[in-house]
Amino acid sequence: MLSFIHELLIPLGLGEQTTELLKISLDVVAVLTLAFIADFVAKRIIVRAVVTMAARTSAQWDDAVLRRRVVHRLAHLAPAIVIYHFAVPALDGYETWSAAIQQGCLLYMLFVAVLVIDAVLNAAVDILSSSKLSRSVPFTSIVQVVKLIVYCVAAIAALSLVLGKSPVLLLSGLGAMTAVLMLVFKDPILGFIGGIQLSANQMVAPGDWIEMPKYGADGDVIEVGLTSVKIRNFDKTITTIPTYALIGESFKNWRGMSESGGRRIKRAINIDMNSIHFCDDETLARLAKVPHMAAYLERKQQELARWKAEHDTDVDRPSNLRRLTNVGTFRAYIGAYLRNHSLIHQEMTFLVRHLAPSAQGLPIEIYVFSRDTDWGRYEDLQADIFDHILAMAPEFGLSVYQSPSGRDVQDTVQMMRGRGKPQ
């Protein structure tokens, strides 16, 4: 096309210099027109056609590619390729200008190529993050390492183009800067090594609930990156922790709880020790009507009867007899109540125990696991259980200990005033 324009100018009989300038001007206009047409075809026809075809498919990977604008960025290469190809013939005799334009086109195409690779890698992360493999393989960290390598290679290639030097020569010169590069990229290197260790040992993965008080982190992991791990706390704030910190410091991962299907309930109530006493026959008869208690009381009374028959003791002295206590019977009731509770995991640790007495009374601790690990439903279950236990304590003649409040002090003072002064 450019030679055709030159042939049209010859019969006009213009001066040689004028003809040359006019030819170059027309050549430049023709090249820019071709570049504009290539840009129009690439962006307005090819890209739209690809978007239309992708919308008709059921596959998810093409949606990720379009969302990351991979095809749109590729379209930017079309005008640059046209200008690069026709720069030399359009500027015939102006090698300096044509070489500069070609160099600029190469730099531009290198920049676009980096953007395309970046978009492809981001699309790959989007596609792979929805797979089960993403919980064991740190795709985000791997992609970030690949991006870092691509950026470094692109920077070296750009420098070689600008300076007109071989990339190998530039790389050999970087050897003397190894210490500086290690210092600059310390965090990415440590983060990359930490990410590999986290993945190899399956210590943390996106979706895990982790707790790390030192950094104020208590929530779900949303991203395991090259240099940092992002955690969405339960108050919807975001905490960023260096990746290598998860290797060198301790943290709690609740993944095991979620995968086990049970969530621990570990809570105690304090019984006022002044309310603990032996059960008499009237009390036992009344407690036998409590659900889950009839079989237990019958079994214990038979056991006590056998013991009395085997031991020659003075039955008139209570200290010589084995007798049921209200607190022991209450503990047995709690165990039976929880054994018959549909939301308590019966195959996991199950304890209803006494702890050491203290100034706050006798603690009775419940150590069981719920079947539901959802936080809200877990808290509802735990509250329902202890509501019931606290309400049942008086049925066994027990008082729950609590520190004296202002109302207790007022009642005591009024009671003492009602008695009057001592005689």
Q: What is the pLDDT of residue 15?
A: 47
- Report the side by side order of strands in the sheet with 263-271: 263-271, 362-370, 351-354
pLDDT of amino acid 423: 44
Decide if 126 contacts 67 (C-beta within 8 A): yes
- Strand bridging mode 228-233 / 217-224: antiparallel
**Least confident interval from 116-130, 333-347, 348-362:** 116-130
pLDDT of res. 7: 57
Question: Tens digits of per-residue pLDDT, 26-44?
Answer: 777 888 888 899 888 988 8
Would the pLDDT of 10 be above 70? no
Could you name the CATH architecture of 137-260? Roll (2.30)
The CA distance from 420 to 273, in Å, is 30
Asked whether 338 and 344 are in contact (CB, 8 A), the reply is yes
Residue 185's contacts (CB-CB under 8 Å, 6 or more residues apart) are 148
Buried b (16+ CB within 10 A) or exposed e, 54-77: eeeeeeeebbbbbebbbbbbbbbb
- Residue 352's nearest CA partner among 341, 363, 362, 366 is 366
Helix axes 294-310, 326-339, angle to 10 degrees: 140
Write down the pLDDT at residue 351. 94
Domain boundaries, the chain: 1-128, 137-260, 263-406
Of the pLDDT bands very low, low, confident and very high (cuts 50, 70, 90), residue 239 is very high
Cα–Cα distance measured from residue 22 to residue 3, given in angstroms and rounded to the nearest whole number: 13
**What is the per-residue pLDDT across 282-302, written as a single tens digit (0 to 9) for each?**
888 888 888 888 888 888 888
CATH number of 263-406: 3.30.70.100
Q: Name the more confident of 289 and 171.
A: 289
Classify 259 in phi/psi space as left (phi over 0), alpha (psi -120 to 50) or beta.
alpha
Q: Distances from the Cα of 123 to the Cαs of 64, 119, 199, 371, in angstroms?
A: 5, 6, 21, 38
pLDDT in tens, 243-253: 888 887 888 88
